[in-house]
């Protein structure tokens, strides 16, 4: 996403909920294991990087197959109802092509084992803490939310949330607030999420969310300062 080198911290997460639970995976985790090694070969995945986590009661919904892409600081999770990817690697998170390659590899890994399994919906979320140049974020928020509720003690704007319609039936959500992690007046927290129909191409998901991220910053006249 835009201007990532200026964030104090940043993470990216992706979730694809399957249109129908891939119940067949419950009996075919070994095949999915082999499929991951094949489709994630480009990311230097080794057999020791993949394991089953927390089998719990043994019910299908308890099983999670974890794939650790250690060279890229990426974790991929596979459940019978969803595919999940998480990273704090900024070189991956800031590159739509790199992110979409991970998404495609994960989707194809499941599809090779369960051909009827397909995403019903995609969620791509980027969030992090950043510094703001110029006016403190609290002053900016006060301008964006000009009439907070009349209450005692007085209430003031701490954050805001916007939504937007994106191309192809997708939706974008932009959340901005003062940072609770870095308690200085120049630091804020931002969370941007794109929700996309299941048929949307992974690269289009990444490019659209990235564009929405940058456009939201521009609309709110936010300039990201240097990280410390």
Given this model, what pLDDT does residue 3 score? 44
Q: How many domains does the chain have?
A: 2
Q: Specify whether 140 is located in the same domain as 66.
A: no
Q: Specify whether 165 is located in the same domain as 179.
A: yes
Answer whether residue 55 is part of any domain: yes
Most confident of 17-31, 128-142, 145-159, 172-186: 17-31
Answer whether residue 37 is part of any domain: yes
What are the tens digits of pLDDT across the range 36-71? 999 999 898 999 999 888 666 667 777 899 999 988
What are the tens digits of pLDDT across the range 10-19? 999 999 999 9
For residue 74, the enclosing domain spans 15-117
Q: Specify whether 66 is located in the same domain as 156.
A: no
Given this model, what pLDDT does residue 221 score? 65
Answer whether residue 3 is part of any domain: no
Q: How far apart are CA 173 and CA 195, in angstroms?
A: 8
What are the tens digits of pLDDT across the range 124-135? 999 999 887 777
Whether pTM exceeds 0.85: yes
Flag whether pLDDT at 32 surpasses 90: yes
Q: Give the domain-ending residue among 98, 117, 136.
A: 117
Q: Give the domain-ending residue among 117, 140, 158.
A: 117
Q: Give the domain-ending residue among 78, 98, 117.
A: 117
Q: Specify whether 86 is located in the same domain as 111.
A: yes
Residues 159-166: contacts with CB under 8 Å, at least 24 apart: 159/189, 162/216, 164/212, 164/216, 166/194, 166/196, 166/208, 166/212
């Amino acid at each position: 996403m835009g201007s990532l080198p200026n964030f104090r911290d940043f993470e990216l997460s992706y979730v694809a909920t399957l249109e129908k639970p891939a119940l067949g995976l419950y009996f075919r985790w070994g095949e999915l294991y082999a499929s991951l090694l094949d489709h994630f070969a480009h990311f230097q995945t080794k057999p020791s990087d993949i394991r089953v986590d927390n089998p719990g009661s043994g019910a299908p919904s308890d099983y999670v197959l974890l794939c650790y892409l250690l060279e890229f600081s990426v974790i991929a999770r596979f459940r019978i109802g969803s595919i999940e990817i998480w990273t704090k690697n900024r070189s991956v998170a800031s590159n739509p092509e790199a992110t979409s390659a991970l998404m495609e590899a994960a989707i194809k890994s499941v599809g090779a084992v369960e051909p009827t399994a397909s995403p019903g919906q995609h969620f791509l979320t980027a969030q992090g803490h950043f510094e703001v140049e110029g006016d403190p974020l609290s002053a900016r928020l006060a301008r964006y939310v000009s009439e907070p509720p009349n209450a005692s003690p007085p209430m003031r704007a701490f954050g805001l949330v916007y939504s937007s319609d994106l191309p192809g039936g997708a939706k974008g959500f932009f959340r901005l607030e003062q940072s609770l992690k870095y308690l200085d007046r120049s630091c804020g927290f931002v969370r941007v999420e794109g929700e996309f129909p299941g048929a949307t191409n992974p690269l289009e998901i990444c490019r659209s969310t990235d564009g929405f991220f940058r456009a939201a910053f521009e609309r709110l006249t936010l300039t990201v300062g240097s990280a410390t």
